[in-house]
Structure 1
Amino acid sequence: MLLFKNTIMIKRILFFLVVLQVNDFHSQNMAENSESSFLSILKAQLKAGASGEKSETDYPAYQFTLKDLEATESIISKELEDNGYKKPNKEAFSSIINKVFNRIIDPRSESKYLHINFEDKCSKDFKLFKNLNSIDVNPYSTYVFKNELFISNLYSIPEILDYTKDSKLFQYEREAENKNHVAGVKIYYWKDITDLKEQRKKSIKTLIARNQYLFNNNKVQYKWLILNDQNFMASLVKTFGYAGDTDLLKWVIERTKFNKNNPQDYGKLFWIKQCDGSLKLHANTFKVLQKLYLPTDPSENRFILDHIKDYLEYLADFNNKETGVSKEDKVKILANIVYFAEQYKYDKRFVSGYGDNSKMMGRLRFFLDQEEIDLLQKNNYFNLPKFKEWWDNADYDEYFVEECEYNGTCGPDNQPMKITEWRKQHPQK
């Protein structure tokens, strides 16, 4: 009996040894295959060169595939780890991606990446787009690496890894240059880019800063980003509607002015249209504005009400066709903006109310048609506590705005009625 038990035990030990050997062989084989795939991608990129020029027009000399994105994953992960990036757990990572970019990571999906398209934020299509210059122009794309828990642009390997440290790879590129000859095309190789080292350093720094800011709540990296990666940071608010970071929101507000050549840009401070078609108002914007705006402030912030007035007139204009905004949504946006601005008319801190000159509520009364007024009342003035009171009190302001600003009948010899005189003819109900 004892001999029988020992025989069984020996067989089990031999079985486990065989399994361990097979697993070890499998892991080694996988690593070798991964390295082989990485080298083949790198060599293909070195052979194609950094760019081509034909008939004075730049064109891509290399077609990216999913393997190119995969080849950068371990490089980026190592750089992040070496520079102190703390990977969040999967639940926290998914939550932040959803909160910032409004994208849901489906745990049932087998795909390893999400494509975030800055020019079409609602697109769920996975495409490979190389940003020409993610620092100086608005980023076109970034990618979510779901397994390794970070975000990154699509990079060519030489942009994030110094391949020249391997003499064989450097020699391979030189040989490729001698063999590649395309009529009328000047191919620029990675070795010929004089500031490639600086570009690589900037790319890696940007990767570290974005991920540590978003997923590690690193305020030091935030300060670097608003100085060196401004379009990306502004896009978080203006493209994706992220208003969860008060410091970022304040920074975007202070550098955004109303521009009649691009009036929609100012509106992005207050609202976005979500991918399901619904309107999202940025409540935090009004909270930040309340801290920023003082009529007596000598800084540029003293013009905030002027910018709001210009945007109000743009959006409220009867002939204006703001893409994708229903009439009810338009009234809701205007009501919230005007409600913020009108408070200064009643603020006793300011002599004779600077708000008396802006006449925001009267301006709104002038612009809204009867259908829009009905929508305002139907929605109970969007539950803004003092809105109806201020609306009713602004009847004289509406008269003044119409007479003096839009009819143009006011002048040295034609002054509008004083409110006491006007009120005799128009008693409040």
Structure 2
Amino acid sequence: MDSLADPHLRFEPVVSDPTGPRELVILGSTGSIGTQAIDVVLRNPERFRVVGLSAAGGRVELLAEQALRLGVDTVAVARTEAVEPLRAALRAQAAPGQRLPEITAGPDAATELAGSACHSVLNGITGSIGLAPTLAALAAGRVLVLANKESLIVGGPLVKALAEPGQIVPVDSEHTALFQCLMAGAKREVRKLVVTASGGPFRGRTREQLAGVTPEQALAHPNWDMGPVITINSATLVNKGLEVIEAHLLYDIPFERIEVVVHPQSVIHSMVEFTDGSTLAQASPPDMRMPLSLGIGWPDRVPDAAPAIDWTKASTWEFEPLDTDAFPSVGLAREVGTLGGTAPAVFNAANEECVEAFRQGRLPFTGIVDTVAKVVAEHGTPDRGTPLTLDDVLAAEAWARATTAAYVREEGGR
């Protein structure tokens, strides 16, 4: 299959590593993705060894605990002011005579760690700041276990230029589901990708009913345990729009053949419809440890990584169309993905700014996507004649953040 994430890699001979456990670097270790990945690692010490961790630096006690328990070689923190508190926490928690890891710090620390010696890099950083580490891991020839969808979305052409087929293994539950279902056929046999959405905490509400939503309500996702930004993105369905762009980039399927359907139970994570009329679905309880284990263990599965469906209990699975009037974010994302160039970077950066403004009470819930749409429209159509560069992406993001901030200040996003 002509794609970045090549499911047919599974049918190549699997050669076990004779030297011992697979060495991993985990970026964003103190976040939701990182902590769940570490849980999988700790339950499978014969299969995995974490050699490096990175985090922003806001939770030094947890980071120190992770580093010591895993016995990592290096810890990278983005905030230089976190170095001394982290060093103190390591000393306080270490057993007598226990070796302490090396500490690196600064905005490029995670990027440097991503290119260090290991087998796989799990990029669990939230936001487009994960782009540079993604590029570093690919350039160094590491297997990229990708939970940071934003880096692929904002830097699509840059990532695709570096990645070899099979070098990226997706971790989003939707994309790991597609990854598995696509193993059943060739690309020419795929009619459409069907990406499922829980609908978030506000499924069934009209646009008018969404106007007064509070941050506390938006952070109460019914199925998934995620960080605040991704949780709010799930409430607006911006996350689903980002996933549509990600699916297009990963699997080279046109946007018009990628469909979103609401599935409140979040048991079927996505489906692939084939040209003969058959549809394959991947199902499991909503637990990120399953896709994470598949990502870090690929091409082998990790036994008992997460609970399976209990088929002895009666259950009902529902599917319903997406309400595009109440949740216009998916349609906007399709437009942005079709535009390409720096448009996805503008979309993502504007959304990150709007989410923060909403969390601070400076923007209404419906103002998030409304403001993003204004910023995208002002940005206009990218120049397709010039190859995209990292500087282009960074400049577009900076412009989008400044423009979004101006909209929030002057108009409240209305």
TM-score with structure 2 setting the length:
0.25
- Higher relative contact order structure (alpha carbons within 8 Å, sequence separation ≥ 6): 2
> Structure 1 or 2: larger strand share?
2
> Structure 1 or 2: larger helix share?
1
TM-score with structure 1 setting the length:
0.25
